Structure 1
């Protein structure tokens, strides 16, 4: 039985595994190969990695983890997780895995509007985060699709970057087409509009069913509730990355750097909880 099973091979899971390895805890990380930023060509706003491809960041992290012989990396899919005895059993492509603790780092899946061309441009010309994708559109016209109180704030944040910020209601853009240097937005009414890039905030959902299978407490956002140490409502289950956040936030603050930081916190909390059990057993 491993000390910890980490599910998810993005920045949160990789950092959790690295932290566990540095403390000589036995851990296995299972990576399905599916990532929320799988269509993103370059990660940004991450010191020393600004502009690096997310896949390259994952590769470098795996090389770091390979130096620690108590951590195993598996490219497989976890299908289900259940509590059993003093730990958990995960059913995977490679057979069952048993672990004393669990770190969920499976992320979220963006649910995009059914607008032709939007999915093909998602993560490149179309994005959600101006901190991650705004600077590359400097001096160009930027489109913003959305409604609600967040729109004026987004416009104000993008204003120093863009030559012009155009806003559209959720139903105004009916198709998105690539151009040589941006996008052509076809509108329900009026002439098409060319922009360098487009921002929108799609809905999201959990990428994996494990929180539901384990009966973890959820937040109104649809994310797993964690405390500041990454612990869920189950004392042996920790969560890191986009799938979870503290109750004081309305939604997760999605970024590669923050996901990695949350992975460090969750990995450290696993070590602390195992150490606490050891102390209690001899007390």
Structure 2
């Protein structure tokens, strides 16, 4: 019986395990090895680590966790969860592990507009967050392939950064192709626009079904509902990272820094609630 099992080995889950381990509670971190930013080669907008490879960030985090005797990390996918406060059961290929409390940090899955070639550049020359990827296109021309009013907002955010922006609806783009270190947007009308990179909008869905299986409240936008301390609506279950946010917010703050902060909060709340029980 662990004090806490953390499901998910991204920034939120790693931070939650570190926070719990520093209080000498037994914590098992289960990491499937699948990450939302798996195609990203350089993480940005993270203080002291701006530009670092996300895989290197995970490697460093795991090395830090190894210093804590009560923290165990396994690279294995969770196949099922069940139970309730005091005895949750988490099933993997290794068997069933039990814990009094759970932290969910399983992240989200991105579905891109159905434009051929867009997915192949995702996380490289195609992104959705100007804060995380805008500066890398400074002084260059970019494409904004987004439907509706959101396109205008992204264009206004990027005005001080890029030289110019070409806006198009996904329906107007027949193909995206990399040519000589840039991207060509081949439009449905036969014309071609050459840009350094593209910003688009992905539809995010829960990567794992565990929150729903545990009866956690799901917000209209698809995120898991949490309170200001990272608690879900299911007693003993906490959530952090992109998968969860407060009902008062339109969605999660999608960044490494925000994920780390929410993981720390979820981990600390799990420890606090355990001693107050």
Match of 2:219 in 1: 219
Q: CA deviation at 1:248?
A: 1.3
For residue 11 of structure 1, report the CA deviation from its aligned partner: 0.1
Contact 2:115 2:170 in 1 (8 A): no
**What do the CA deviations read for 1:137-191 (whole angstroms, capped 9, x no partner)?**
0010011111223222211110111110111012011211012222111111141
**Residues 1:238 and 2:246 are matched in the alignment:** no
* Counterpart secondary structure, 1:242: helix
Q: Does 1:4 align with 2:11?
A: no
1:269 is aligned to 269
Structure 1 position 253, deviation (Å): 1.2
In 1: Cα distance, 2:84 partner to 2:141 partner:
55
Q: 1:245 to 1:237 in 2, by over 3 A?
A: same
- CA 1:15–1:132: 2 relative to 1, 3 Å: same
C-alpha displacement of 1:87: 1.8
CA shift, 1:222, in A, is 0.4
Structure 2 distance, partners of 1:4, 1:46, is: 27
Q: Is residue 47 of structure 2 the alignment partner of residue 50 of structure 1?
A: no
Q: Using the alignment, how far apart are the partners of 1:128 and 1:236 within structure 2?
A: 34
Residue 155 of structure 1 pairs with residue 155 of structure 2:
yes
Deviation at 1:84, TM superposition (A): 4.8
C-alpha RMSD of matched pairs (Å) = 1.0
CA distance in 2 between counterparts of 1:180 and 1:35 reads 29
Matched position secondary structure for 2:50: coil
TM-score w.r.t. length of structure 1: 0.96
Q: CA deviation at 1:211?
A: 1.0
Rounded Cα–Cα distance in structure 1 between residues aligned with 2:161 and 2:85: 55
Deviates more, 1:209-218 or 1:13-22: 209-218
Q: How does 1:119-130 map to 2 (within 5 A)?
A: 119-130=119-130
The alignment partner of 2:61 has SS state of: helix
Q: Secondary structure at the match of 2:274?
A: helix
Q: In the TM superposition, what whole-angstrom CA distance separates every residue of 1:67-110 from its partner, at most 9, and x where no partner exists?
A: 10001000000001001572200110111010000000000000
| Aligned equivalent of 1:280 | none
Number of the residue aligned with 1:166:
166
- Secondary structure of 2:34's counterpart equals coil
SS at match of 2:171: coil
- Name the residue aligned to 2:33: 33
For residues 81-100 of structure 1, the aligned pairs below 5 Å read 81-84=81-84, 86-100=86-100
For 1:281, the equivalent position in structure 2 comes to none
In terms of mean alpha carbon deviation, does 238-247 or 164-173 score higher? 164-173
TM-score normalised by structure 2 residue count: 0.98
Aligned length: 277
Where does structure 2 lack aligned partners over 5 or more consecutive residues?
none
Residues 17-48 of structure 1, C-alpha deviations (whole Å, 9 max, x = no match) = 00001011100000000000000000000011
SS at match of 1:215: coil
Residues 16 and 267 of structure 2 are in contact (CA less than 8 Å); yes or no, is this contact kept in structure 1?
A: yes
Structure-1 separation of matches of 2:67 and 2:255? 26
How far apart in 2 are the matches of 1:67 and 1:12? 19
Query: After the TM superposition, which parts of structure 1 deviate over 4 Å for at least 4 consecutive aligned residues?
Result: none
CA distance in 1, matches of 2:89, 2:143: 47
Q: Distance in 1 between matches of 2:84 and 2:50?
A: 43
1:108 and 2:74 are equivalent in the alignment: no
Query: 5+ unaligned residues in a row in structure 1: which ranges?
Result: 278-283
Tell me which moved more, 167-176 or 66-75.
167-176
